[in-house]
Structure 1
Amino acid sequence: MIKYPSFEKKATIGVTAPSSGGSVDSHEMIRLACSRFEEKGYGIICGDTVWTQSKAKSAPARKRAQEFNDMMRDDSIHLIFPLWGGELLVEIMEFIDFESIKDKWIVGYSDISVLLLAITLRTGLATAHGTSFVDLRGEQTDPTTAMLETVLSTEMGASVLQHSSESFQKDWQQDRPSPYLYQLTEPTYWKMTSTHQNVSLQGRLLGGCIDVIRHLIGTPYGDVRHFSNHFINGEPILWYLENCEINTVDVRRSLVQMKLAGWFENCSGILFGRSNANQPIDGYTIEDVYQDLTEELGVPIIYDIDCGHVPPQITLINGAFAEVEVKDGKGTVRQYFKE
Structure 2
Amino acid sequence: MLRYIIKIEIMTKIIKPIKLKKGDTVGIIAPSEPIIYKQKFRRGVQELKKLGLKVVFSKNIFKRYGGYMAGTPEDRLDDLHSMFKNKKIKAIFAARGGFCCNQLLSLIDWKLIKKNPKIIFGYSDVTVLLNAIYQKTGLVTFHGPNVELSISQWGHYTKKYFSKAVFSDDIVGKIIQLTKWKILKKGKASGRLIGGNLSVLRTLLNTPYNPNWKNTILFWEDTGITCEDLDHFLTHLKLAGVFDKISGMIIGKNNKLNKIEEKSDLNKLLFLSPEKIILEITKKYKFPIISDVDFGHSGEQITIPVGVKATIDTSKKLFSIDENAVN
TM range (shorter): 0.7 to 0.9
Contact in 2 for aligned 1:290/1:301 (Cα 8 Å): no
User: Which amino acid counterpart does residue 136 of structure 1 have in structure 2?
Assistant: I
Contact in 2 for aligned 1:321/1:338 (Cα 8 Å): no
User: Aligned equivalents of 1:51 and 1:110: distance in 2?
Assistant: 19
Give 1:145's match in structure 2, choosing from 139, 159, 165. Answer: 159
Contact in 2 for aligned 1:145/1:315 (Cα 8 Å): no
For residue 185 of structure 1, what is the aligned residue in structure 2?
Answer: none
CA offsets 1:246-293 (integer angstroms, 9 cap, x no match) = 212222222222222232333111111111333258402211122123
Mapped pair 1:237 → 2:216: yes
Give the SS at the match of 2:64.
coil
Give 2:180's match in structure 1, choosing from 189, 210, 213. Answer: 189
CA offsets 1:182-226 (integer angstroms, 9 cap, x no match) = xxxxxx1111123x6xx543211000101111111111111x3xx
For residue 124 of structure 2, what is the aligned residue in structure 1?
Answer: 110
With normalisation by structure 2, the TM-score equals: 0.84
Please show how residues 280-299 of structure 1 align to structure 2 within 5 Å.
280=260, 282-299=270-287
Percent identical residues: 27
Mapped pair 1:82 → 2:94: yes
CA offsets 1:318-338 (integer angstroms, 9 cap, x no match) = 11000234467x544233138
Contact in 2 for aligned 1:144/1:163 (Cα 8 Å): no
Mapped pair 1:273 → 2:252: yes
Give the SS at the match of 2:45.
helix
User: Which amino acid counterpart does residue 107 of structure 1 have in structure 2?
Assistant: F
For residue 171 of structure 1, what is the aligned residue in structure 2?
Answer: none
Mapped pair 1:336 → 2:323: yes
CA change 1:214–1:323 in 2 (3 A) is: same
Contact in 2 for aligned 1:323/1:333 (Cα 8 Å): yes
CA offsets 1:150-182 (integer angstroms, 9 cap, x no match) = 212343xx521253443xxxxxxxxxxxxxxxx
Please show how residues 155-170 of structure 1 align to structure 2 within 5 Å.
155=169, 158-166=170-178
Give the SS at the match of 1:239.
strand
User: Which amino acid counterpart does residue 129 of structure 2 have in structure 1?
Assistant: L
User: Aligned equivalents of 1:239 and 1:125: distance in 2?
Assistant: 18
Mapped pair 1:126 → 2:140: yes
CA offsets 1:68-108 (integer angstroms, 9 cap, x no match) = 01111111111000101112211222221112112111111
Please show how residues 172-251 of structure 1 align to structure 2 within 5 Å.
188-194=179-185, 199-222=187-210, 224=211, 227=212, 236-251=215-230
Mapped pair 1:30 → 2:41: yes
CA offsets 1:36-56 (integer angstroms, 9 cap, x no match) = 322332111101333233511
Contact in 2 for aligned 1:274/1:304 (Cα 8 Å): yes
User: Which amino acid counterpart does residue 298 of structure 2 have in structure 1?
Assistant: V
User: Aligned equivalents of 2:251 and 2:281: distance in 1?
Assistant: 12
Q: How many residues align?
A: 300
Give the SS at the match of 1:249.
helix
Structure 1 stretches of at least 4 aligned residues deviating more than 4 Å after TM superposition:
none
* Unaligned ranges ≥5, structure 2: 1-12, 261-266
Which of structures 1 and 2 has the bigger CA Rg? 2
Mapped pair 1:39 → 2:50: yes
With normalisation by structure 1, the TM-score equals: 0.81
CA change 1:165–1:193 in 2 (3 A) is: closer
* Unaligned ranges ≥5, structure 1: 167-187, 229-233
Contact in 2 for aligned 1:6/1:153 (Cα 8 Å): no
Contact in 1 for aligned 2:223/2:256 (Cα 8 Å): yes
Give the SS at the match of 1:111.
helix
For residue 31 of structure 2, what is the aligned residue in structure 1?
Answer: 18
Contact in 1 for aligned 2:305/2:325 (Cα 8 Å): no
User: Aligned equivalents of 2:64 and 2:198: distance in 1?
Assistant: 24
Mapped pair 1:322 → 2:307: no
Contact in 2 for aligned 1:249/1:284 (Cα 8 Å): no
Contact in 1 for aligned 2:35/2:96 (Cα 8 Å): no
User: Aligned equivalents of 1:193 and 1:141: distance in 2?
Assistant: 28
Contact in 2 for aligned 1:240/1:272 (Cα 8 Å): yes
Contact in 2 for aligned 1:252/1:289 (Cα 8 Å): yes
Contact in 1 for aligned 2:83/2:92 (Cα 8 Å): yes
| Cα RMSD for the two superposed structures | 2.3
Give the SS at the match of 1:259.
helix
Contact in 1 for aligned 2:165/2:325 (Cα 8 Å): no
Contact in 1 for aligned 2:311/2:318 (Cα 8 Å): no
For residue 173 of structure 1, what is the aligned residue in structure 2?
Answer: none
